[in-house]
Amino acid sequence: MNSAKPPVVGITARTVPVTLQGTDMVVSLSLQSHVDFLAAAGCVPVVLPVRPGVEQLLGQVQGLLVPGGPDLDPALYGQERHPLTRVASTDLDRAELALIGAALTDGLPLLAICRGMQLLNVRCGGTLHQHLPEVTGDDGHRPQGAGFEFGRHVLDLEPASRIARVFGEDTPKTACHHHQAVDRVGEGLTATARTSDGVVEVVEAAGHPFAVGVQWEAGQTEDDRLHRALADAARRR
């Protein structure tokens, strides 16, 4: 009998206003697919409220998922704020940067999605394009429509990279919804996948057991391979 305990994976929460039973309130929550995918992969997912000092909890988990969310404060990477940059909370930025820094230092398996990838890049000293259409000339990475629409892009993967091993011969068409992206890649990171217009869609930390950032909305499609890869790394932890 295998008596090993399942790995615990922390998911950083997003704080949003909601109306429940006619009452307005603010809640901390996670995308349900992140919870479901990690649970199906044999993990115990836990939602981590993002408060100062939350990085002290990392000793209790074997993996960390940092999901999408609002734009980062560009002051964190030495830029003035673009008119279309929407910053929710500098406290949130600093707390998640501390979490990612601790995960990098401790070798904790890390999957950073969308905003999470941008945080990873900035934590390593990189910068961001604050409004991608000014770089690419179109809104293909965040289509403008009546609802929440995805841009679809086929990735060009670096051979022998971790992301190439995750997807093998079946490279997905990404589901993108971002108006910002990596500009200068941070120290110790390698860009291992781009779209045909040159936008960085994956970064990986060199010398780390598993620290992968993806720019697309992983978790918003049925493809759970990244979550399973995080779960495998957490088990090895």
Classify residue 1: in a domain, yes or no: no
Classify residue 54: in a domain, yes or no: yes
Classify residue 2: in a domain, yes or no: no
**Mean per-residue pLDDT for 105-123?**
97
- 155 in Cβ contact with 218 (< 8 Å): no
* Separation in Å, CA 173 to CA 63, 117, 182, 194, 223: 26, 18, 19, 12, 10
Classify residue 93: in a domain, yes or no: yes
Dist CA 3 CA 214 (whole Å): 33
Residue 146 sits in a domain whose CATH number is 3.40.50.880
Range of the domain at 51: 8-236
Classify residue 160: in a domain, yes or no: yes
Chain-wide mean pLDDT for the chain? 92
Dist CA 167 CA 1 (whole Å): 31
Q: Give the pTM.
A: 0.94
Classify residue 79: in a domain, yes or no: yes
Into how many domains does the chain fold? 1
- Taking 70 as the threshold, does the pLDDT of residue 115 lie above it? yes
Dist CA 66 CA 107 (whole Å): 15
pLDDT of residue 174: 85
